[in-house]
A and B are shown apart, each in its own frame.
Chain A
């Protein structure tokens, strides 16, 4: 413990963040958090990025966390500032993103009086945080922030919230930052049970059609090297979920795509026809399983997870291993180095390869309108040889195409809102990712609906010198809603038309001091992307695509994964 120093609570907040090694935070000031912003004015090694909306600040902190593997920090004032953080907190909760939110609260003596900009943010967020604290004494600040970072980043990662009344920020304390944190009720598992790991290894070695079903937990656990080792040791095919995308190199021969609602048919076949599923930091989400009772009916399940509550939550685990994935995967690989029979999975790998040839991704080509898929093929082609690309996405059709077409070989290069499905996530998350990885070229794939939810953060990108490239896959519609209304609601289109040309996205980008491009043909898209990627500036490419295009394949909600609907020429309005 360092020597004590007299200071106020606000300074103690910043000294605590510095002690945690925080280099950057995202936020927006207001009344109840003013003392803390005054402390920023007095100086800190922590850089503050000023967002235009607290939701943007929250998603930036998430993007930072996902790109860096560290804890993201967002700061907001009380009341509306705090409630604007609710969506990012819920998003971080669903996707297990480590996030510390610090909010100002009205003065202690005003709490409970319906004071100006008062709201019970700790109460509001109880269902979507790992834990939260309302600081009631200035002396609690160092320990509380220490505990907040500890809880956010240990066990299964996730969001926490620290709510600090204004008078507590102003009160004085003798500051010292604790070395340890005392949380008697917080004891995440520190290792997997060796007997269970052995049982898992034996199950894998005995299987004829094993598959690794990899989720975001592998990225959170920094266990991508161990995963690669395991897959290569026993020659196990790998499918990665949307959250697991980039946890395993996607140009690797053992990568078998992405299972789920819009995953390729061959990926869903591989997962559903396996006789052994090794779930690694994945949670049998309904978007992956489809109808649970029909999901991989013949498979034995080995489930590796840091969170014991995920075991058996959706699908019974025959062999559960609860523990941190890094050592668990390493142990498993070590066991399999002796147990695995060379060549045993070859017929199974050949079978999946056959399915891959048999069921490629298809879409209707030709016609006057630019199809969205070639935009993604172009992006993939233009960036394939680069090792500095990080993708972020919004939510909807463009997100699913990004999953299908953009191949990620390096960890933490695909940042998306998987669980909550938060439209508007992509742009601020890209700004946060750029803050985490200044060396990277960050490209946000967005929809026109998503873009309009958080577009104001273009100002943050430009003014804070965190340049990003935004590619709007602009079909003028809430495209995924349009697809559902078309396929499942008898083509009764309702409240989905946004129009392709209002706003003028390129003009809007220029108004924010960014580069703006409008592209309506493949040639125009290629030119715009090239210029945008080379510019080193914030740029928006408005790619106007066929509004009627659907994203295929698709497992209709509630249907079995094997009953997925594929593209057929008749589903396209363009003549084949």
Chain B
């Protein structure tokens, strides 16, 4: 089972390496990882997609908590959180299929950010599942290059579930 985990950590040299090294050492598989700044200049946020086939998520969270630079770990539970991903897709687009592709893009809210004689570059931001769908849709046309940021996410303030601790706390 794949979980999305949001990690706040001190913005210090090597902090990210310590997390990824711990994942490698403990045999946890990272599906995607996005790291960036937060509202505080001294704090970064990592959004991780982690495959918990071999280990319960709780064990992974606890191992992260032991790292000195890690300030907070919480799971982004589907339905209780907003998840977004950005993708850039370079699709083969000879004049004959250009209109069809652009129509598809419109359906998904993808922007055309570049247009060459034989290819279009789309920019799509949205829930990762939408990005998956759009990717599959354009693939038959010739998906020349694709880059995805990996998902980022936040808990929804509108649906905070009081039963679930925001921060992983162990009795």
Q: Chain A: residues with CB nearer than 8 A to chain B?
A: 122-123, 126-127, 130-132, 134, 136, 151, 155-156, 183-186, 193, 195-196, 307-309, 311-313, 320, 322
Which listed residue (A123, A126, A127, A322) contacts B170, Cβ 8 A?
A: A322
A sample of 25 inter-chain contacts (CB < 8 A) reads A122-B14, A126-B14, A126-B17, A126-B18, A127-B21, A130-B68, A131-B67, A131-B68, A134-B13, A151-B68, A184-B10, A185-B9, A185-B10, A185-B67, A185-B69, A195-B171, A308-B62, A308-B170, A309-B62, A309-B63, A309-B65, A311-B170, A313-B59, A320-B170, A322-B170
Bound CA span A298–B60, Å: 28
What residues of A have a CB within 8 angstroms of the CB of B69 in the complex?
131, 185
What residues of A have a CB within 8 angstroms of the CB of B25 in the complex?
127
Which residue from chain B places its CB closest to the CB of A127 in the assembled complex?
B25
Chain B interface bracket (under 10, 10 to 19, 20 to 34, 35 or more): 20 to 34
What residues of B have a CB within 8 angstroms of the CB of A309 in the complex?
59, 62-63, 65-66
What residues of A have a CB within 8 angstroms of the CB of B71 in the complex?
184-185
Which listed residue (A127, A196, A312) contacts B171, Cβ 8 A?
A: A196
Within 8 A of A (CB), among B132-171: 170-171
Extra 14 A-B pairs, beta carbons < 8 Å, given A126-B14, A311-B62? A126-B17, A126-B18, A130-B66, A151-B68, A156-B66, A185-B10, A185-B68, A185-B70, A185-B71, A186-B68, A195-B171, A308-B170, A309-B62, A322-B171
Q: Is B78 an interface residue (CB 8 A)?
A: no
What residues of B have a CB within 8 angstroms of the CB of A195 in the complex?
171
Bound CA span A122–B13, Å: 11
Which residue from chain A places its CB closest to the CB of B171 in the assembled complex?
A193
Q: A122-B14, A320-B170 are in contact. Are A183 and B68 (CB under 8 A)?
A: yes
A572 → chain B, closest Cβ, in Å? 41
B53 → chain A, closest Cβ, in Å? 16
B56 → chain A, closest Cβ, in Å? 7
Q: Is B31 an interface residue (CB 8 A)?
A: no
Q: Is B58 an interface residue (CB 8 A)?
A: yes
What residues of A have a CB within 8 angstroms of the CB of B17 in the complex?
123, 126
- Greatest chain B CB density within 10 A among A136, A196, A313, A320 is at A313
CB pair B66 A320 closer than 8 Å: no
Bound CA span A126–B171, Å: 28
What residues of B have a CB within 8 angstroms of the CB of A196 in the complex?
171
Bound CA span A173–B98, Å: 66
Which residue from chain A places its CB closest to the CB of B8 in the assembled complex?
A185
What residues of B have a CB within 8 angstroms of the CB of A127 in the complex?
21-22, 25
Bound CA span A183–B68, Å: 7
Bound CA span A221–B170, Å: 20
Q: A122-B14, A127-B22 are in contact. Are A307 and B171 (CB under 8 A)?
A: no
A292 → chain B, closest Cβ, in Å? 14
Bound CA span A151–B67, Å: 11
In the A-B complex, the 9 residue pairs with the smallest Cβ-Cβ separation, listed nearest first, are: A309-B62, A131-B68, A193-B171, A308-B170, A126-B21, A127-B25, A186-B68, A185-B71, A308-B62
What residues of B have a CB within 8 angstroms of the CB of A131 in the complex?
67-69
A307 → chain B, closest Cβ, in Å? 7
CB pair A312 B59 closer than 8 Å: yes
CB pair B13 A320 closer than 8 Å: no
Bound CA span A382–B169, Å: 51
B32 → chain A, closest Cβ, in Å? 22
CB pair A320 B171 closer than 8 Å: yes
Which residue from chain A places its CB closest to the CB of B15 in the assembled complex?
A185
Bound CA span A322–B21, Å: 25
What residues of A have a CB within 8 angstroms of the CB of B14 in the complex?
122-123, 126, 132, 134
- Greatest chain B CB density within 10 A among A308, A311, A322 is at A308
Which residue from chain B places its CB closest to the CB of A155 in the assembled complex?
B66
What residues of B have a CB within 8 angstroms of the CB of A123 in the complex?
14, 17
- Greatest chain A CB density within 10 A among B14, B22, B25, B63 is at B14
What residues of B have a CB within 8 angstroms of the CB of A320 in the complex?
170-171
Residues 51-87 of chain B: 1 if any A CB is under 8 Å from the residue's CB, otherwise 0?
0000010110011011111110000000000000000
What residues of A have a CB within 8 angstroms of the CB of B13 in the complex?
134, 136
A130 → chain B, closest Cβ, in Å? 7
What residues of B have a CB within 8 angstroms of the CB of A126 in the complex?
14, 17-18, 21
Which residue from chain B places its CB closest to the CB of A313 in the assembled complex?
B59
Within 8 A of A (CB), among B87-116: none
- Greatest chain B CB density within 10 A among A184, A185, A322 is at A185
Which residue from chain A places its CB closest to the CB of B170 in the assembled complex?
A308
Q: A126-B21, A185-B9 are in contact. Are A308 and B68 (CB under 8 A)?
A: no
What residues of B have a CB within 8 angstroms of the CB of A132 in the complex?
14
Which residue from chain A places its CB closest to the CB of B9 in the assembled complex?
A185
Within 8 A of A (CB), among B5-38: 9-10, 13-14, 17-18, 21-22, 25
CB pair A312 B56 closer than 8 Å: yes
A511 → chain B, closest Cβ, in Å? 43
What residues of A have a CB within 8 angstroms of the CB of B62 in the complex?
308-309, 311
What residues of B have a CB within 8 angstroms of the CB of A322 in the complex?
170-171
Which residue from chain B places its CB closest to the CB of A309 in the assembled complex?
B62
CB pair A308 B21 closer than 8 Å: no
Bound CA span A395–B70, Å: 36
Bound CA span A322–B58, Å: 14
What residues of A have a CB within 8 angstroms of the CB of B10 in the complex?
184-185
What residues of B have a CB within 8 angstroms of the CB of A193 in the complex?
171
Bound CA span A397–B65, Å: 38
B73 → chain A, closest Cβ, in Å? 10
- Greatest chain B CB density within 10 A among A156, A309, A320 is at A309
B48 → chain A, closest Cβ, in Å? 17
B131 → chain A, closest Cβ, in Å? 32
B89 → chain A, closest Cβ, in Å? 36
A342 → chain B, closest Cβ, in Å? 31
Bound CA span A309–B55, Å: 12
B25 → chain A, closest Cβ, in Å? 5
B62 → chain A, closest Cβ, in Å? 4
B102 → chain A, closest Cβ, in Å? 47
What residues of B have a CB within 8 angstroms of the CB of A185 in the complex?
9-10, 67-71
What residues of B have a CB within 8 angstroms of the CB of A136 in the complex?
13
Bound CA span A184–B72, Å: 10
What residues of A have a CB within 8 angstroms of the CB of B58 in the complex?
312
What residues of A have a CB within 8 angstroms of the CB of B171 in the complex?
193, 195-196, 320, 322
Bound CA span A156–B68, Å: 12
